[in-house]
Amino acid sequence: MKITRIEAWPVKMTLAEPYQIAYETVDHAVNVFVRLHTDRGPVGCGCAAPDAQITGETPEDVLRVLDGPFREQMVGSDPLRYARLMDPFRRRDDVGPAARAAVDMALFDILGKVTAMPVWKLMGGFRSRMRTSITIGILEERETVRKARDFVARGFTALKLKGGLDVESDIARVLAVRREVGDKIELRFDANQGYDLDRSLRFVEATRPARLEILEQPTPKGEQELLGRVTRGASIPVMADESLLTLRDAFRLARRDLVDMINIKLMKVGGIAEALQVNAIARAAGFGVMVGCMDETALGIAAGLHFALARPNVMYADLDGHLDLVDDPTHGAVVLRGGTLFPSEGPGLGLTDFPG
């Protein structure tokens, strides 16, 4: 089998409801789609969700490397020789992680289609479904409570609140949501790098009555020692997100025991294969693992879900990035029932094809 052609194109999608986090307001997302065509019929599908703040890439950067280095390396090559194809790109500074993730997905998709199996079963098949949290951006207290109530009514049993701009407002919103939703709903909080040590510990102490499950990335991503000080002083699990971009980052966090948990996003680490290696470090270190996402179409969410379903120690999912995207061309790649995600029944990542 040989790869005969690579297609890549961007799609801009508006968000049904724009949201605010600690460092920006988001009202649209651009994903770059890729198809790997082969001479035996199977077509591999993938997507990139670049983010200049997180992955260091723009859509134009992704298109450039897909049309250049990836095309040169892959056309005429066997798509089943994953390591031979992808390993050179792990060492290239000009190829970002979202671009690698898109091609990684497409290669796993081909493998699944060739074997007539879904990727989550090929990788281990530990579970067949997974509960996901759903995110509430930074809103005033009354609107935060309203959205929490609506999400619970739709069947979600885990909510993630965003904050990091004002610790006192964050505390009030968390406590108000807990009063509204009761004791059976899990609450998580993401400060998106917005706190220092004092505010982090103030937040943890003041929100004790809310029984938060996770405090995600309270401090700036470049200050790992500060993150470790929060972890040592906090009474709830502290999770790294923006501080984890590479396999080396995972090793550093583990070696110095700087966090309790990590958030693995395929777009940050470079795809499924790299996520498996990061997860192995987490497992060895005893870290809890969540699989997260960017503002990704259902195809990107599907890839994260297949990874999470395959590994027993990936206990948490925050895979809601597709839910507000208008006109997602890959909307059938995952199935949401209440607050639980199921993979499509098809082979590979579950899509036979999509418009574009």
Q: Is 121 a catalytic residue?
A: no
Helix (H, G, I), strand (E, B) or coil at 102: helix
Active-site residue 241, yes or no?
yes
Q: Which residue in the list 160, 162, 221, 268 is annotated as catalytic? A: 162
Residue 48: how many CA atoms within 13 Å on its side-chain side? Answer: 36
Q: CB-based contacts of 128: which residues, under 8 Å, 6+ apart?
A: 120, 309, 342, 343
Active site residue 162: yes
Catalytic residue among 113, 160, 265, 268: 265
131 vs 200: CA distance, rounded Å: 27
Rounded CA gap, 57 and 136, in Å? Answer: 25
Catalytic residue among 104, 186, 216, 260: 216
244 close to 217: Cβ distance less than 8 angstroms: no
- What residues pair up with 8 in beta bridges, in sequence order? 34
Catalytic residue check, 184: no
- 51, 104, 241, 274: the catalytic one is 241
> Which distant-in-sequence residues (6+ apart) come within 8 Å of 141 by Cβ?
169, 172, 173, 176
SS3 131: strand
Query: Can 104 be counted among the known catalytic residues?
Result: no
Determine which one of 170, 190, 295, 318 is catalytic.
190
- Rounded to whole angstroms, the Cα distance separating 244 from 332 reads 30
Q: Annotated active-site positions, please? A: 162, 190, 216, 241, 265
